A and B are shown apart, each in its own frame.
Chain A
Amino acid sequence: MSLIQTENLTKVYGAGETAITALNCVNLQVNAGEFVAVMGPSGCGKSTLLHLLGGLDRPTSGSVMIQDHPLAKLSDDALSQLRRRKIGFVFQFFNLIPILSSVENAALPLLLDGKNSAQAKHKASEWLTKIGLGERLKNRPDQLSAGQQQRVAIARALVTEPVLILADEPTGNLDTKSADEIADLLKQVAKTWGRAVLMVTHDPRIATHADRIVLMRDGQIVEDKRNAKDEG
């Protein structure tokens, strides 16, 4: 059984004549330790797919299963708990809380989960150190480069030991060098730490870091292939 499994996943915005089908009967499986890049032109449904997988939005029809849990049946609180424990998010604009330090930002999910502050911060420091920010624990976001900020966001995503990392254009706001570093880091997340990573990107060069590339157009998957470079 795959870690993620979707069945005829469909999302329609609006109703009647103005209805827009953002996602149309999508079936997708992702396994643990797999790094998947989702590509496609603007408005093809990439982000909608990501939101539905992360339980941020509810589908119009079809279903999403994560580790055999159907998301549709979960209450808002249960969904919050699932996001907290099983899923890590990485955003294009980092979305760090500007008033908190790196370690405090990274510790947030654990604090939200009721862990005590010292434990949470210890865990956060460990992850920050693993991804190369051991020297920057006390810095606030405005004292970090864009690449470093995104690393903090990745540490935040990993700190609860989730099974799945969802990244929405994680390199969209970075220079080439930082972008490559972040893509490599995500690959490491999948390969070394065994998480499933699903990354939405515009950038074909970044997509080449992934094991699998899923191409979408008009709300449907039009191509799902193993990465040639990866195979080679």
Chain B
Amino acid sequence: MNLQLTLAARYLGGRKLRAFLTTLAVVIGVMVIFGMGVYLPSFTAAFEKSLLAASGQADVVITHKTGESFAATMLNRVRAVNGIAVSVGAVERIINIPPNFYGKNSTVTGLTLVGVEPAVAPYLHADYTTPTQGRFLKQGDGNVAVISERLADSLGVKLNDTVKLPTTQGVVKLTIVGLLPGRALTGNEQIIIPLAQAQKLLDMPGRINVIEANLGVTGEAERRAIVEQIKAQLGNTYTLGGLSSGSEFLGAMQMAEVIFNMLGLLTLAMGGFIIFNTFRTIVAERRHDIGMLRAIGANRATIISLVLTEGLVQGVVGTAIGIGLGYLLGVGITAGTGAVMKSVMNIELTPVVEPPLVVVSILLGVGVTLFAGLLPALSASRVTPIEALRPALSQVAQRFSRIGTLVGAVMIGIAIAGLLTGFFPLVALGGFMFLIGLVLVAPALVRPIANLFGMLLALLFAREGTGELAQGNLTRQPSRAAITASATMIGLAIVVGAGGMMFSLTGTVMQLFSKTLGSDYLLVPPSIAIWKGDVGASESLKAKISSIPGVGVVSSLRYAQSSLQSAAIKGSGEATISVLGIDPVEYPKISGLDFQKGTAQDAFAALAADERNTIVNGILAAGANLKVGDLIPLATPTGLQEYRIVAIGSEVLSMKINTAYISQANLKADFHKSEDVFYQVNLAPGADVALAEQWLNQIVADYPQFRLVGGREYTAEFSAQYDSIFIGFYVLLGVLAFPSLIAILNTLAIGVIERTREIGMLRAIGATRRQVWRTIVAEALLLAALGTGLGVLAGLYLSYVFVEGLNASGIYKMAYAFPGAGVLAATAVGLIFGVLAALLPARQASQMEIIKALRYE
């Protein structure tokens, strides 16, 4: 191994630039995978944390399957079960805290409001009995609270101070009567208040949403028996254990993780191509050295291990640097998007590094490098010792595999056929086959495409004949040119594909956005779309807004959580659903849904009727295989209720979340929810805008959980947020495209080294430095044109696949927008890359000393 390492180190050191560039390809691939691996799980984890923060420490925690409240009398049924030592009913509710609510520097983004019975709760939570200061709650307390010392510190309050809290009744001030020691539990800090007060503040009189119980026995079997008895008492609409998580959004995040991992893998594949190409060249270049080693007694295994050791060194170094930079990338993205995430979803991000991520990154980075080096290593081992004795003649022309071309052509054919069927699985498979097919046919395309562009170049460099020379240089090594072009192609395909999808998505979303949220004013809660933690307002706020002079239409959204069981749902057969209550009369006046099935008029009329009707959104319809006319049983606090689907339609806020729209009347009857979480307001024609706005501001001031924004302002804000997310994305795409620059540079540099003698000869018979320079640049342009052409083609296909994929999955009906500007930009970038990549090798070739070059082995 000593010899192998020495040679690997010396060879790498001898060609520093190339070693650097090849290693860079590995670095970038690993960086993307690692960086995204650091960012996305931290995102998911933060989200999960905020969702699941409220799970308890009691032996049994009982919640309704929907996560919604139920009658406090249910507690009696639990207490009737033998073997339960103590059980308490409580209200637990996550309250998202609007930014700056507790001052500019406050880090508190969410609190859990816990309403407990002061007399019973301490039996379950021993820490309630040992406050470090003050006392615990007692019977007859009003607006008082007990909080932890840690929360008191972060809010900057002391015993007997007041702390304000957004509630459905507006902002309420609670007097702190006791401080508890800090809790070890993760998640939100709690504000503990008397149950009766909590029911009042959250507009849920007589209702609780969690029962905690401790069992009087310790035997595992006995405990299980008691749990079964409780289940029998309550029926199957209750969950025993933690809170059920509203995880539809987590699904979307996991999808994003998969997509980014795919991008990272493609980048690594691109890196693999580059490394493969480099090693092939290394082998070609060192034919003499390898032959000599064979002549003096090195066996094949030694030669293979020589090449692989070099790959290993690069793989290890590249992976190590990639992981380091990837971590910085992850941290950078976390910091960059942190502000947006906090304001849109109210979650805090901290980057996490999980051991499996490190292991996978290392395996991929080192593995791809070794794998890419394997074929060249094998071909090196086949170099015969005689090659050391003969002066080298570079190959005149290399044949390409006809079978490969044929297989590639068939794959492209199948891909196109798949595209025409419009059946998504086929379309997606087609995208993959299209890419591989192009890689396979690329060698056969080198000659015709080089000839075509060669003619253009010949015109450009008409008097020098360098265009033809460049074209000849390229076509005599079609498979090497094709591998380079393939690396460029994959790079640009990713850029054009993902860019094209973004383009279509942005267009669709912005259009939808102004349609759904195009009202004059909006009252926005801290977290839109993930409504669960939002504290809304009771019906009185809507009435107050409606009474403002000049206000024409007020429409509100109400939220309840539900679930749907259906065999069509993948996995557990059960999906969590956001149920949004709308006013079927007011809502269409001011907002709207984009209907995929059914019409607005019929659908809203059906919702207004005194029946259980619902409009479901695209993602829910697709996930549970629902059609118009289907009856779906929605889990409600009053039991399963059958709703008839009258239409399928979506709006921008709930695009990615299983959502059913029902009338607010039904939401109140079945879910006991009359709390508005989102408002849209339109002024009447000719209204006094300034006056109305002044009134609105004044009313909303009492409800700081809402932010009053102008519709146009909000659209601009959303668009800016959207862009700030995607600017990062575009930067990432640029990083992904970068390795293709290295690929071209590498191939050209290699070509120059290989043809040193020829270049010397050209100079000897009178070619000027300029001519040599131009030959190399022309070759680069041809190579770039080839890669760019294929890349744009593959990218368009991919973007179409992405868009069709979103459509077919039913998430949203998206119009495919041809990314014309993107194609032009990619072409320009591709060709500029070509010229940039040529600068160094061209300089090297044109500066060559003729005699030395002629003697070059």
Contact = CB atoms under 8 A, between A and B. Distances in A.
Nearest to A92: B389
B13 interface: yes
A83 B296 contact: yes
A83 B384 contact: no
A95 B3 contact: no
A85 B299 CA distance: 13
A74 to B, nearest CB: 12
A2 interface: no
**Size range of the chain B interface in the assembly:** 20 to 34
B297 A113 contact: yes
Contacts of A82: 297
Interface string B1-43: 0110011001101100000000000000000000000000000
Contacts, number: 86
Residue with the highest number of chain B CB atoms closer than 10 Å, among A95, A104, A113? A95
Contacts of A80: 294, 297-300
Contacts of A112: 3, 293, 296-298, 302
B289 interface: yes
Interface string A88-115: 1101110101111000100011011100
Given A56-B385, A83-B295, A93 B391 contact: yes
A168 interface: yes
A89 B292 CA distance: 9
A109 B296 contact: yes
B857 interface: yes
A108 B389 CA distance: 18
Contacts of B14: 98-99
Contacts of A117: 2-3
B384 A56 contact: yes
B293 A108 contact: yes
A54 interface: yes
Contacts of A95: 288-289, 291-292, 295, 388
A84 B11 CA distance: 23
B386 A51 contact: yes
A57 interface: yes
A76 interface: yes
Contacts of B302: 112
A60 interface: no
Interface in B355-398: 384-386, 388-389, 391
A113 to B, nearest CB: 7
B388 A91 contact: yes
A100 B286 CA distance: 14
A93 to B, nearest CB: 6
Nearest to B296: A109
A111 B293 CA distance: 11
Contacts of A231: none
A47 B7 CA distance: 29
A26 to B, nearest CB: 18
Contact of B385 (A83, A100, A109): A83
Given A56-B384, A84-B296, A85-B297, A93 B10 contact: no
A230 interface: no
B292 A91 contact: yes
Given A56-B384, A91-B389, A99-B10, A109 B292 contact: no
A81 B297 contact: yes
A83 B3 CA distance: 18
Interface residues of A, number: 35
Interface in A48-71: 51, 54, 56-57
B389 A99 contact: no
A60 to B, nearest CB: 15
Residue with the highest number of chain B CB atoms closer than 10 Å, among A76, A88, A89? A89
B296 A56 contact: no
B131 to A, nearest CB: 73
A109 B13 CA distance: 22
B384 A108 contact: no
A77 interface: yes
A91 B7 CA distance: 21
B8 to A, nearest CB: 11
Contacts of B298: 80, 84, 112
A195 interface: no
Given A57-B386, A93-B391, A95-B289, A111 B3 contact: yes
Contact of B296 (A57, A92, A108, A116): A108
Contacts of A92: 389
Interface in A124-183: 156-157, 160, 168
A56 B13 contact: no
A24 to B, nearest CB: 19
Nearest to A200: B389
A54 B295 contact: yes
Contacts of A108: 3, 293, 296
A93 B295 contact: no
Contacts of A168: 389
Contacts of B10: 99-100
A76 B386 contact: no
Contacts of A83: 295-297, 385
A47 B366 CA distance: 43
Interface in B261-295: 288-289, 291-295
A47 B389 contact: yes
Contacts of A89: 292, 295-296
B137 to A, nearest CB: 79
A20 to B, nearest CB: 16
A72 to B, nearest CB: 16
A39 to B, nearest CB: 18
Contacts of B3: 108, 111-112, 117
A97 B296 contact: no
Contacts of A104: 6
A54 B300 CA distance: 17
Interface string B667-679: 0000000000000
A184 B385 CA distance: 27
B382 to A, nearest CB: 10
A56 B386 CA distance: 6
A99 B384 contact: no
Interface string B108-123: 0000000000000000
B13 A156 contact: no
A47 B289 CA distance: 19
Contacts of B292: 89, 91, 95, 97
Nearest to A75: B299
Given A99-B10, A108-B293, A112-B293, A56 B300 contact: no
Nearest to B302: A112
Nearest to B3: A111
B300 A76 contact: yes
Contacts of B301: 77
Nearest to A50: B389
Contacts of B299: 76-77, 80-81
Nearest to B386: A56
A116 B3 CA distance: 10
Contacts of B294: 80
Nearest to A84: B297
Contacts of A88: 296
Contacts of A56: 295, 384-386, 389
B2 A111 contact: yes
A56 B3 CA distance: 23
Nearest to B300: A76
17 contacts: A51-B389, A54-B295, A80-B298, A80-B300, A81-B299, A83-B295, A84-B298, A88-B296, A91-B292, A92-B389, A93-B391, A93-B857, A100-B6, A109-B296, A111-B3, A112-B302, A168-B389
Given A56-B384, A95-B295, 14 more contacts: A54-B385, A56-B295, A80-B300, A83-B295, A83-B385, A91-B389, A93-B857, A98-B14, A99-B10, A100-B6, A100-B7, A104-B6, A109-B296, A112-B302
Interface of B: 2-3, 6-7, 10-11, 13-14, 288-289, 291-302, 384-386, 388-389, 391, 857
Among all A-B residue pairs, the 8 with the closest Cβ atoms: A84-B297, A80-B299, A99-B10, A95-B292, A56-B385, A83-B297, A111-B3, A99-B14
